[in-house]
Chains A and B, each alone.
Chain A
């Protein structure tokens, strides 16, 4: 009895001894993260939260195995005397007005040094002006709407590629395929009709027009549809060579299943991330939609690579592979942490200056961007994306060829043999 209580006391003391110096050594840097942790986009918000928690672990603790990734090898932020990053998560529930209120709360009550968020463009629209008003840097992790960065804000930065980048990538890919003799005479655009699908769909349609690529049909639809046979029949009738889907999770799975059951298979299906990157997607459709392509700037990579290590950490935490949407949020977090470290201070003005001066090279990134460098609006001009293809039970990087890890299969196979 006595012994065990002694042991307990000793354990407590060690715990205190271990935790005390790290917690108080160099103060902390606070980053507020706004995500939809409940509501309709909860799945994406929760995944992004887990990814940012992994990223925090990577920055705060020594991870020499992660190669050139800035701040991984050291514990904490070296230029701030090894200060740790303390992340405060809040749930804006997908409600723009709540997002605005929470941004105020994070800035004035939690005294965060920077913000990251907010998934839905609507919530980013209302949260960023608060940050601008208080002069707190706001890193947009993943919001599609183009005009988030075109409002003349000084404190808003976006590391992720945006709709026009994706659209251009697709057009370059099509041009490349045509050069190889593949037949792409027309495409179809199928987009869910909220801000994400509409932004990306519009961008693709505009770029296709520029490239003289005929758009056989454009089908906007509601992501909560319980049945998509009518849309699939429309596609079947127009019979385009490539169908681009800008879809969320349930609807993208539903499309694949419905196309299978209505016996329709175009030359190629190209998913625009989101639903196609949801970890629920592959197991649901992998025996009926072999060869389906997807946009992603994230690739798990070869065993032992930095990206593979990161994926292992994420998988240990959540039991699922890291998806592109969450990975882009994670990359945004790293870019923000790197800027704070270079600022050498928690002063928002200095962080802003450091962010504006960001110049990260491809080997310092976990994503397949050509780098991170912001233009005067705060948009990353070196953002790029890969195209990946479902082969077996995993996506393989197939385009651009310089980065490819597997050969592209064209046309897509559909059902697994």
Chain B
């Protein structure tokens, strides 16, 4: 019974990992661009949720959508003001720009919200349901389910719609896409918006269960890197599987080996997997 509980907990956590990582894989895979500020998007999503709850009230649906919308706008804004200019520059300039951006966002939040830890006031999502001896915290259940649905929706958007085809076309061959009448800048701005929006909504969902301060982003960035590389750059479905796997491995190894070994196991498996299958789980060779 305990074993099932551990596995369920791991999968619920993994679904959230999948959601914020799918945002990262979107731009990483499609633009070959490492975003060190992705964890900061998650952090900002958490604060947006807090602001909405304290000023406007409303349930999780309200603040999650608000966080997604705010971060979508931020993503588009950042793309047109900064990323657009560095994206065709050297890899190192990209690393520089998003690393600087991460500091800028983190410490702007620090200046505005102070360094103190905050949590969301108890929402409708408090409480636990018990199914067949397994405890399911409502907040995590809703967050996990939402994450699952959104990640799959993002996958469908990319693979089954015209917008998705256009996005992929730009990623594949910018020049050819332009000849087809697609405006790459618009598509890439959209990708950044979606990426940041997914991070924002993941942040809002995380906030229902997890207390945070402005420096929380770092944790999420590292997890997202591993999930994305494991899943294969650019594959939303890959990051879904990878997110679930990472969540599961963390839970299982924390329970049977001890909490300090869970990251050793994750990174260790990651390195081994890179060696055996460098293109990631779902990546193209």
Question: Which residues of A are in contact with B by a Cβ distance under 8 Å?
Answer: 38-40, 42-43, 45-46, 193, 219-222, 224-231, 233-234, 236-237, 249-250, 253-254, 257-258, 260-263, 278-280, 283-284, 287, 320
Contact A43 B135 (CB under 8 A): no
Contact A46 B114 (CB under 8 A): yes
Is B219 among interface residues, defined by CB-CB distance under 8 A? yes
Select which of A219, A221, A262, A279 is within 8 A of B135 by beta carbon: A262
Closest-CB distance, A217 to chain B (whole angstroms): 9
Closest-CB distance, B284 to chain A (whole angstroms): 30
Q: Please, how many angstroms separate the alpha-carbon atoms of A249 and B118 in the complex?
A: 10
Q: Please, how many angstroms separate the alpha-carbon atoms of A2 and B121 in the complex?
A: 55
In the complex, which range does the number of interface residues on chain B fall in?
35 or more
Contact B263 A43 (CB under 8 A): no
How many A-B Cβ pairs are below 8 Å? 111
Q: Please, how many angstroms separate the alpha-carbon atoms of A43 and B263 in the complex?
A: 26
Q: List 23 A-B contacts (CB under 8 A).
A: A40-B215, A42-B115, A43-B114, A43-B117, A43-B213, A45-B115, A46-B114, A46-B115, A222-B263, A226-B206, A226-B223, A234-B255, A250-B216, A254-B209, A254-B210, A257-B209, A260-B128, A262-B5, A262-B128, A263-B135, A279-B116, A280-B117, A280-B119
Closest-CB distance, B147 to chain A (whole angstroms): 13
Is B151 among interface residues, defined by CB-CB distance under 8 A? no
Residues A287 and B122 in contact in the complex (CB < 8 Å), given A43-B213, A220-B258, A220-B260: yes
Extra inter-chain contacts (18) besides given A38-B115, A229-B5, CB under 8 Å: A42-B213, A43-B115, A43-B116, A43-B117, A222-B259, A227-B9, A229-B251, A230-B262, A234-B255, A237-B2, A249-B211, A250-B213, A258-B137, A261-B137, A278-B117, A283-B119, A284-B119, A284-B211
Select which of A219, A221, A280 is within 8 A of B211 by beta carbon: A280
Q: Please, how many angstroms separate the alpha-carbon atoms of A46 and B118 in the complex?
A: 15
**Chain B contact surface mostly:** helix
Closest-CB distance, B267 to chain A (whole angstroms): 12
For A234, list chain B residues within 8 Å (CB): 255
For B260, list chain A residues within 8 Å (CB): 193, 220-222
Closest-by-CB residue of A relative to B251 is A230
Q: Please, how many angstroms separate the alpha-carbon atoms of A261 and B142 in the complex?
A: 14
Contact A233 B255 (CB under 8 A): yes
Contact B128 A261 (CB under 8 A): yes
For A236, list chain B residues within 8 Å (CB): 2
For A193, list chain B residues within 8 Å (CB): 260
Contact B9 A229 (CB under 8 A): yes
Closest-by-CB residue of A relative to B135 is A262
For A278, list chain B residues within 8 Å (CB): 117
